[in-house]
């Protein structure tokens, strides 16, 4: 090999090594949000996304991808390069979809790498003021008097809001028509406008409408009463014993993302989640910030898949 060829080869090797050794991150990071702007998941994503960008030294750009009950966003992440530059703010709908749909174009466990559990948020049972009920018991009585007449909005078929409603309808033995929307934000706007009568909506989406008296909150879906809405009874104590349903949000990466990137993102995100400033801001929105190991999120996902698989089968909700 002549000297010129040796110089070219040496230069190429040095450039390749420099690129390979380039520290992470060296460009902006995209966070996919499986809902439209201003909803609950978007609020949480932005709450942690901005300080994450500061911690990483690179901007974190929100990419809102609503639709298909969050499956569109999950599929997009599953097909992204495992390089740490694409994240997903996943919701519990990801676990619900695992058994609700027979023909998913991704594996809900094997195609993803968990990073951390971010937050837990209960739902509120909210109704339009025109509905002649002021408690869960009265709502159940009304639904039994008018079977098939009341309309219940959700963030989409298979969403957490949908399954929370279906669980209630099954346990309360009432016939209420489900009306799926493309996002929780769109559903709550139509509810406030009186186009549908009720919804099981997360606290972030529904509380501003409750405070403005556009909606009336009847109960909270958590197992115990919550400081997020201290005056509200639980659904369980309001006529449906044993009822409980909560939403959760976490961060995922594509499968086969290098461990050092997963560890870096987990470390930065958990520090952000546990910071007093972020916790206080989340509390005003109705969210309890958590922060966990990747393994804890993986276990939660597997347990939730098993839980909702039993319910969707019992309610014959499987689609596709």
> Which of 211, 238, 265 delimits the end of a domain?
238
CATH of the domain at 104: 3.40.190.150
Task: For residues 178 and 87, state if they share a domain.
Answer: no
Task: For residues 251 and 227, state if they share a domain.
Answer: no
Interacting residues of 89 by C-beta distance below 8 A, sequence separation 6+: 31, 32, 33, 34, 41, 44, 45, 118, 249, 250, 251
Interacting residues of 208 by C-beta distance below 8 A, sequence separation 6+: none
- Going by the DSSP 8-state scheme, the letter that residue 319 receives in this structure is B
> Which of 238, 273, 293 delimits the end of a domain?
238
Q: Say what the alpha-carbon torsion angle 74, 78, 81, 87 is, to the nearest 10 degrees.
A: 30
Q: What is the extent of the structural domain holding 153? A: 122-238
Task: For residues 136 and 188, state if they share a domain.
Answer: yes
**Cβ 101 vs Cβ 318: under 8 Å:** yes
- Give φ, ψ of 193 to 5 degrees: -85, -5
H-assigned helices in 79-202: 93-100, 136-145, 160-172, 184-192
Is residue 148 a part of any domain in this protein? Answer: yes
Tally of domains in the chain: 2
Rounded CA-CA distance 239/179 in Å is: 24
Per-residue CA distances from 124 to 31, 136, 199 (Å)? 27, 11, 8
H-assigned helices in 110-151: 136-145
Interacting residues of 179 by C-beta distance below 8 A, sequence separation 6+: 151, 152, 153, 154, 187, 196
Task: For residues 266 and 179, state if they share a domain.
Answer: no
Is residue 19 a part of any domain in this protein? Answer: no
Rounded CA-CA distance 106/94 in Å is: 11
Q: What pLDDT tens digit does each residue of the chain (320 aa) get?
A: 455 554 555 455 544 444 445 799 999 999 999 988 877 889 999 999 999 999 999 999 999 998 887 899 999 999 999 999 999 999 998 998 888 888 899 999 999 999 999 998 889 999 999 999 999 999 999 999 999 999 999 988 778 898 899 989 999 999 999 999 988 889 999 999 999 999 999 888 898 999 999 999 999 998 888 877 888 999 999 999 999 888 899 999 999 999 999 999 999 999 999 999 999 999 887 788 999 999 999 999 999 898 888 777 776 766 65
Show the tokens assigned to 103. Answer: 């023909």
Cis before 25? omega within 30: yes
Task: For residues 276 and 210, state if they share a domain.
Answer: no
Q: What is the 3-state secondary structure (H, E, C) of 289-314?
A: ECCCCHHHHHHHHHHHHHHHHHHHHH
H-assigned helices in 21-108: 40-56, 71-78, 93-100
Is residue 110 a part of any domain in this protein? Answer: yes
Task: For residues 115 and 126, state if they share a domain.
Answer: no
Is residue 2 a part of any domain in this protein? Answer: no
Task: For residues 253 and 225, state if they share a domain.
Answer: no
Does the pTM surpass 0.85? The reply is: no
Task: For residues 190 and 271, state if they share a domain.
Answer: no
The residues facing 122 across adjacent strands are: 246
Rounded CA-CA distance 271/166 in Å is: 36
- Give φ, ψ of 124 to 5 degrees: -110, 140
> Which of 222, 238, 254 delimits the end of a domain?
238
Task: For residues 108 and 151, state if they share a domain.
Answer: no
- Going by the DSSP 8-state scheme, the letter that residue 149 receives in this structure is T
Task: For residues 134 and 109, state if they share a domain.
Answer: no
Task: For residues 54 and 98, state if they share a domain.
Answer: yes
């Amino acid at each position: 090999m002549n000297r010129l060829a040796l110089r070219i080869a040496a230069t190429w090797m040095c450039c390749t090594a420099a690129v390979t050794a380039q520290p992470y991150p060296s460009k902006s990071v995209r966070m996919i949000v499986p809902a439209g702007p201003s909803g609950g998941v978007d609020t949480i994503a932005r709450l942690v996304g901005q300080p994450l960008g500061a911690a990483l030294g690179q901007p974190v750009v929100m990419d809102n991808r609503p639709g298909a009950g969050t499956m569109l966003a999950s599929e997009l992440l599953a097909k992204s390069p495992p390089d740490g530059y694409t994240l997903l703010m996943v919701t519990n709908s990801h676990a619900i979809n695992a058994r609700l749909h027979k023909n998913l174009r991704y594996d809900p466990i094997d195609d993803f790498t968990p990073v951390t559990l971010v937050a837990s948020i209960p739902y509120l049972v909210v109704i339009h003021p025109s509905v002649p009920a002021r408690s869960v018991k009265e709502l159940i009585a009304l639904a039994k008097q008018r079977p098939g007449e009341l309309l219940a909005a959700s963030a989409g078929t298979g969403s957490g809001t949908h399954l929370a409603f279906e669980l209630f309808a099954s346990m309360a033995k009432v016939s209420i028509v489900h009306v799926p929307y493309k996002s929780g934000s769109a559903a709550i706007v139509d509810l406030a406008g009186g186009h549908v009568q009720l919804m099981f909506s997360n606290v972030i989406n529904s509380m501003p409408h409750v405070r403005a008296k556009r909606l009336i909150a009847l109960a909270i879906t958590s197992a115990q009463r919550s400081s997020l809405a201290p005056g509200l009874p639980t659904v369980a104590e309001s006529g449906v014993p044993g009822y409980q349903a909560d939403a959760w949000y976490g961060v995922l990466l594509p499968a086969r993302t290098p461990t050092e990137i997963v560890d870096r993102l987990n470390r930065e995100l958990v520090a952000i989640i546990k910071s007093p400033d972020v916790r206080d801001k989340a509390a005003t929105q109705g969210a309890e910030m958590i922060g966990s190991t990747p393994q804890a999120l993986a276990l939660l996902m597997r347990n939730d898949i098993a839980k909702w698989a039993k319910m969707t089968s019992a309610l014959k909700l499987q689609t596709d």
